């Protein structure tokens, strides 16, 4: 077996390249560069012989053919059919060298159905102010993954959390690499926080990717998303307890029970946010109110030491450069909450922001920026207050940290399993029929 490449690779100008057609586009063959091929004549299924396959002379496709320099032409016929090149006697030399790449892209585009409008979607998939760009409501897992590379109304929702996931993962691994995990107990809360900061953007991007597989899959994906957000909320509480508490609250009763109550908050918040999805069609306003409340009150509890520190009595050790980052974090979080609840700007101009610029994309960006500011503030507090904290506070033990995280994970997964099972117990009309 050997690769035949009797002719040098030729660069074709753009005018000679065959058109790459998206689904639904009309076939228009260029006049130059096609040799004997012309539109309108069929060759699909024809078995032809060729001594110089176009794939063999393309540098990116090293295919092996027999020593007799012959092939049965099935791949060529398929190529002709997909790219709409036809001739009564196809000649391999007539195809441009870019055919393999174009064929690959064409076949990829064929796997992605055209996005749908809101009128073609079940009501459970409807988003306020979003008219076009919906994916098929019964997409396969493969189609969901491929949709990352197709412009639809979820594409930027996915990428605005998938890319930051890798950034936060890089920061987490960097800190982990320079930390003596076994002996540096002072850094354990930071590692927990940075680990949970990687979980929620990954879970969010997965939820937006696979939410179009079915109605129930959509709900379950977002159940997991809510659980990841609440796990991050607990990670923030652990870091706040260790590094950011104002001087006057350190070693108080409030400080002692702060993390334990944060665990309870995450359990309640996950249950409340999951339950809100059952009201999405019947009572959309109550659904939105419960979901905002489910995330607002754990954040308020976690941030109480920050509010106290910034606006009441910061204490001498807490007056440092980290305060500016805490303020920026609060501002970005408030902006994210407003965007999430207000559905602006798409509510004012339905259909104008279906693909780029709708509120959920802006919400994702604000949340990531808020997390970045929060991370910078925690890192500064950890460094600048280390001496005072080690002398004045009781650091969290490994048992306290792991116990809190494990309890959160167990009860969060229990909530998710319970509500996921409820999806299959509740009759379809009762779950999705809109209240009249």
Q: Cβ distance 247 to 317 under 8 Å? A: yes
Q: Cβ distance 277 to 432 under 8 Å? A: no
Token readout for 301 is 């509890």
- How far is the C-alpha of 189 from the C-alpha of 21, rounded, in Å? 53
**69 C-beta neighbours (distance < 10 Å), count:** 14
12 is in an annotated binding site: no
208 is in an annotated binding site: yes
Residue ranges of the annotated binding site for Zn(2+) are 208, 360, 364
Residue ranges of the annotated binding site are 208, 360, 364
């Amino acid at each position: 077996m050997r690769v035949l490449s009797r002719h040098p690779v030729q660069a074709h100008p753009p005018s000679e390249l065959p058109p790459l057609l998206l689904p639904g586009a009309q076939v228009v063959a260029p006049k130059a560069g096609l040799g004997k091929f012309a539109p309108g004549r069929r060759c699909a299924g024809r078995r032809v012989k060729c001594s110089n396959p176009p794939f063999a002379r393309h540098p990116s496709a090293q295919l092996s053919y027999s020593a007799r320099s012959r092939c049965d032409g099935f791949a060529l016929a398929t190529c002709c059919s997909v790219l709409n090149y036809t001739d009564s006697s196809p000649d391999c030399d007539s195809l441009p060298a870019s055919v393999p790449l174009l064929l690959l892209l064409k076949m990829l585009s064929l796997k992605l159905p055209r996005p749908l409008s809101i009128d073609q979607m079940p009501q459970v998939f409807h988003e306020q102010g979003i008219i076009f760009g919906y994916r098929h409501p019964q997409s396969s897992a493969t189609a969901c993954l491929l949709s990352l590379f197709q412009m639809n109304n979820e594409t930027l929702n996915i990428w605005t959390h998938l890319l930051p996931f890798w950034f936060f993962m890089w920061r987490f691994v960097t800190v982990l690499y320079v930390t003596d995990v076994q002996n540096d107990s002072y850094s354990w809360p930071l590692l927990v926080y940075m680990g949970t900061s990687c979980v929620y953007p990954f879970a969010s991007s997965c939820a937006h990717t696979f939410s179009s597989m079915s109605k129930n899959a959509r709900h379950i994906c977002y159940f997991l998303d809510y659980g990841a957000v609440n796990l991050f909320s607990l990670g923030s509480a652990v870091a706040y307890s260790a590094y950011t508490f104002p001087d006057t609250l350190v070693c108080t009763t409030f400080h002692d029970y702060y993390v334990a109550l944060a665990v309870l908050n995450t359990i309640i918040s996950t249950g409340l946010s999951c339950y809100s999805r059952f009201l999405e069609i019947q009572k959309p306003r109550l659904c939105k109110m419960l979901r905002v409340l489910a995330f607002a009150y754990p954040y308020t509890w976690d941030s109480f030491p920050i509010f106290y520190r910034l606006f009441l009595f910061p204490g001498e050790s807490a007056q440092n450069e980290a305060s500016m980052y805490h303020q920026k974090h609060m501002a970005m979080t408030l902006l994210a909450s407003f965007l999430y609840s207000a559905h602006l700007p798409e509510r004012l101009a339905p259909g104008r922001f279906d693909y780029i610029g709708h509120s959920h994309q802006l919400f994702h960006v604000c949340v990531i920026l808020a997390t970045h500011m929060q991370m910078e503030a925690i890192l500064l507090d950890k460094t600048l207050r280390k001496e005072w904290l080690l002398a004045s506070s009781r650091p969290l033990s490994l048992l306290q940290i792991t116990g809190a995280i494990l309890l959160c994970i167990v009860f969060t997964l229990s909530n998710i399993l319970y509500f996921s099972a409820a999806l299959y117990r509740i009759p379809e009309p009762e779950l999705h029929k809109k209240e009249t």
